[in-house]
Structure 1
Amino acid sequence: MHKLKELTVQDQRRRRLGDRILRRQSRGETVQFHVEPDKVRRVPPSPALLLIYGFLLLILIGTILLCLPIASRNGQFTSIITALFTATSAVCVTGLVVVNTGEYWSYFGQTVILVLIQLGGLGFMTGATVLFVLAGRRITLQERMLLRTSVGGGSLGGIDKLALRIVGLALLLEGIGILIVFPRMLTYFDPLTAFWQSLFLTVSAFNNAGFDITTTGTSLVPYSQDPVILLSVCVLVFLGAISYAVMRDITTIRRFRGFTLDTKLVIVTTLSFVVIGTVVILFSEFTNVGGMGGIGIGDRFAGSFFLSVASRTAGFTIVDIGAMQDYTLFFLMVLMLVGGASGSTAGGIKLNTFAVLGASIIAVLRGRDKTEVFGREIPDDQVRRALTIGALAIIWIHITIIVLAAWEDFTLTEVFFEAVSAFSTNGLSTGITGDLSSVSKLFLILTMFVGRLGPMTIVFALVQRHNPARYRRAQESVRIG
């Protein structure tokens, strides 16, 4: 008995996991469970990409509609390149055209262009948000972020109301413009044509598009002696180029000291460009018979003022741009490259970007470590973003110049002017757009698209990718200059 107990203890000591298996009959049916592996969730596109997709969709729809025979006056199909170029120019509110808008396109085609201008000028997502609100649809967080990118700011909570106010203000200003311009148009056209001309011109002016439907194809030259029309266009272009945020500050705060730094920079730079532009254009073209040298002195002052306002962002003109002096054209290129305010209907690298770059240069020249203006310090990351936008804009413009110069036989000044006009979505031209080859037109289409959405998407991408470093490396100086 003692030996048996000892063996049992030894067996228990030697027993290992798995030596003894207890089998028990299962009761009932065996239930099988099918376990699926976790699905890889797709990361939704960023708001910047959605904005690009929206503009591409508008361009695609516009191209298809403009290709239809009903869109042209001759009742024939329009070539894809012509329709694509026109649709892109309208959506990007550029104004460059390869055919005469008033002579080639029918009322249907002009209506398509007008709708594209309105949607492209106010921003695709702004119009879509208004439709969602009117239909009772809730605006998602991603759509709010996209809209904030499109309009250039605003809190996420009230972004839908902001979109409604922006569209409402735009329609109000355009309506006032029609009421002012329509009586003057009656002196040139019958009532129906006068109303259509007034509607098209005011929408194009507020959205800084530069499109016109005069059959002469010479922009606003037929109205060069009409101060009511020219002044109305200047006011609409000016308001559209300073953005809703600036107009809100001006109407609600009404004191320069109480304005935000952003509003102060826009107002100061805008007025500076208007004054400097008027003086430079007046003196450079004062004796140019092909430009403004052949009109009266008072008209020369008015013409210079109009060009400094309307030609800087919208592309309207009352003189032959191709007949202007080369140094005047280069000065206009600078104005066009800067463009209007962030979040406005105008293009360019934006006044805000230019102001930040200027303030940064002044700070360096004064030996300051920080960029300060109007008693406020601008964050270093915003200075770097402004520098990035400016550098990339110059690089892209030079690439465009190289492509156009390689394919075309025009002068370098004409090619340079066309490239800057396309990137800044300005629309001014020396008259070579319609004579460009298909390759050059396609590259200008890409340039207009990049110029319209490039600065906006770059800023948003930089903000989204902001990842502060958790450590710093050793510093080492390099030679500068």
Structure 2
Amino acid sequence: MENIKKKKHLSPFKILAIGFATVILTGGILLSLPISSVSGQYTSLLDTIFTATSAVCVTGLVVLDTGTYWSVFGQWIILILIEIGGLGFMALSTIFALLLGKRISLRERLVMQEAYNTFSLQGVISHVRYMLFFTLAVQGGAALILMTQFIPLYGIGTGIYYGIFHAISAFNNAGFDLLGNFTSVTVLNTNKVVLMTLGTLINIGGLGYLVWREIISSIRSKKKLKNFSLHSKVVLTISLTLVLFGSLIFLIFEWNNPATMQGMRFSDKIVNSYFSATTPRTAGFNSISNSEMSPAGKLLTMAYMFIGGSPGSTAGGVKTTTLGIVIFTLISVLKGREDVEVYHKKLSQSTVYRAVAVFLLGISIVIMGVMVLSIAEVGATFEVILYEVLSAFGTVGLTQGITPSLTAVSKVTLTLIMYMGRVGPLTVMLALAGKQSKANVKYPEGKLLIG
């Protein structure tokens, strides 16, 4: 009876953490079966758990090549895991419950509120419905566009399959591809339609459902940007700045790099610069060699991997709003203001504290991951290790080539980092922390020297 009571009182944080872990374990077991591999043999459970984590956490890091190692059954398992990871297992369970005519309890609504970063419980079910229809519409339209490029290259059956797979992978910011031999889309880096479609999908998925819902409703009602919610303003401002700034930097520093863009036409350089500025924010596709980028290109890629996408989206990282709050807090301190102000609005202390906590937890997770891999991966450079850890934390999937040869310790470490990056470092810590309680005692103010 006590165990049943405890289960009923699981916090939303614990339900999310356990739910994602359960989906990963199920996916790992299915992928380990002989039917999932081309060879028809059992696959190491460690490798399948790593792959399932990468799929559910929409990362894209793979120790086994998706296009050549897995059978069609295995690839579909990965694709389903990607969709579950992008939408969230709570969305799918809610959809099934609605189809069966079951009532959604208050506890389930609380979990969904936490999972999708909505501001209130009101309308959370309609939000899930909107997520499903929006996802299917965008993925379906993009798949049709990609088919026009893949069918002439690979035939009708394979072309249709590739169109569907890559549309779902890109929208969910997963980065899994079927082109084989760990090449990602480098073999198609002169195909503007493919790159622009994938890049657009990544940006759509990375903005978040709440933002897109507001954008679409504003188009219908002809609402101006100044009337958008504070959340949407911050997300759109920072996302647009990151894409434009990143595209310019990649264009400048890779322009004459013989290993990346030097031999390309001007239009191809523009498209590949845009794509390179888009994918590090948790997508995982790459159209040019990651390991042969300029030092500035690699540094910017690592910074973008840490930032990630926006709250309530299919992306990972510390999120654009967290970066925005940290920047706005710095500006307020420099201006000598007590309150953090954004677009003539004051942010609550709890919001600022939460953002700083996420930012610091993210840095801590990356540092610990780098320390472990530095010991486990003998011979790998610090740059390559940092790149790999940031890619796992940001649920990106980009690598400089060491993922297939990782040791068991590194695989376990990166699996945990991907999990924390997708579920959210703060959510995981709150789930582990147990019951929270507000302090009833206020202590006298103390003073510390800063700087």
Task: Give the TM-score normalised by the residue count of structure 1.
Answer: 0.89
Rounded Cα–Cα distance in structure 2 between residues aligned with 1:176 and 1:463: 44
* Equivalent AA in structure 1 for residue 217 of structure 2: T
Deviation at 1:152, TM superposition (A): 1.2
- What secondary structure is seen at the aligned counterpart in 2 of 1:264? helix
Q: Distance in 2 between matches of 1:457 and 1:115?
A: 24
Does structure 2 conserve the Cα–Cα contact (< 8 Å) formed by 1:313 and 1:346? Answer: yes
Counterparts of 1:417-436 in structure 2 under 5 Å? Answer: 417-436=387-406
Secondary structure of the equivalent of 1:142? helix
Instruction: Give the C-alpha shift of residue 39 in structure 1.
Output: 11
Q: What corresponds to 1:451 in structure 2?
A: 421
Maintained 8 Å contact 1:178/1:198: yes
TM-score of the two chains, using structure 2 as the length reference: 0.95
In structure 1, distance between residues paired with 2:2 and 2:408: 49
- Encode CA deviations 1:37-73: one digit per residue, 9 max, x unaligned: 9999536211111111111111111111111111011
Say which is worse superposed, 330-339 or 259-268, in terms of deviation: 330-339
1:464, distance to aligned residue in structure 2 (A): 8.0
CA, structure 1 residues 39+144, in 2 after alignment: closer, same or farther (shift >3 Å)? closer
Deviation at 1:299, TM superposition (A): 1.6
SS at match of 2:341: strand
8 A Cα contact 2:17 2:428, kept in partner: no
| Aligned-residue offset at 1:259 | 0.5
- Residues 263 and 68 from structure 1, CA distance in 2 versus in 1: closer, same or farther, beyond 3 angstroms? same
Contact 2:307 2:318 in 1 (8 A): yes
Alignment pair present for 1:86 and 2:51: yes
Alpha-carbon deviation of 1:154? 4.9
Bigger radius of gyration, 1 or 2? 1
The two structures, once aligned, show a CA RMSD in angstroms of: 2.0
Gaps of 5+ in 2: none
- Select the residue among 151, 157, 164 that pairs with 2:116: 151
Partner amino acid, structure 1, of 2:338: D
Selected match of 1:241 from 206, 216, 225? 206
Correspondence for 2:270: 301
Residue among 145, 160, 166 paired with 2:125? 160
Aligned-partner Cα distance in 1 for 2:424–2:237: 25
* Structure 2 match to 1:311: 280
The residue aligned with 1:23 is none
Segments of structure 1 that go 5 or more residues without pairing to the other structure are 1-36
Q: Aligned in 2, Cα 1:247/1:459: closer, same or farther, shift over 3 Å? A: farther
Task: Give the distance between the partners of 1:263 and 1:420, measured in 2 at CA.
Answer: 26
Tell me which residue corresponds to 2:166.
Answer: 201
C-alpha deviation, 1:103, in angstroms:
0.5
Equivalent residue of 2:346, what SS?
strand
Residues 195-217 of structure 1, C-alpha deviation per residue, up to 9 Å, x if partnerless? 11000000000000000011242
Residue 104 of structure 1 aligns to a residue whose secondary structure is coil
Deviates further, 68-77 or 250-259: 250-259
Aligned pairs, how many? 444
Question: What displacement does 1:453 show?
Answer: 1.0
2:281–2:315 contact (8 Å) kept in structure 1: no
Within the candidate set 106, 109, 127, 2:71 is matched to 106
Alignment identity in percent?
36
AA of the residue aligned to 1:358: I
| Alignment-mate amino acid for residue 391 of structure 2 | S
Counterparts of residues 200-219 of structure 1 (less than 5 Å): 200-219=165-184
CA distance in 2, matches of 1:465, 1:428: 37
Which of 227, 247, 256 in structure 1 is aligned with 2:192?
227
Cα contact 1:356–1:383 (8 A) shared by 2: yes
| 1:383-439 CA-partner distances (Å, limit 9, x unpaired) | 111001100110110000000011112110000000000001010001110111111
Using CA pairs below 8 Å that are at least 6 residues apart, which structure has the higher relative contact order? 2
Q: Which amino acid aligns with 1:81?
A: L
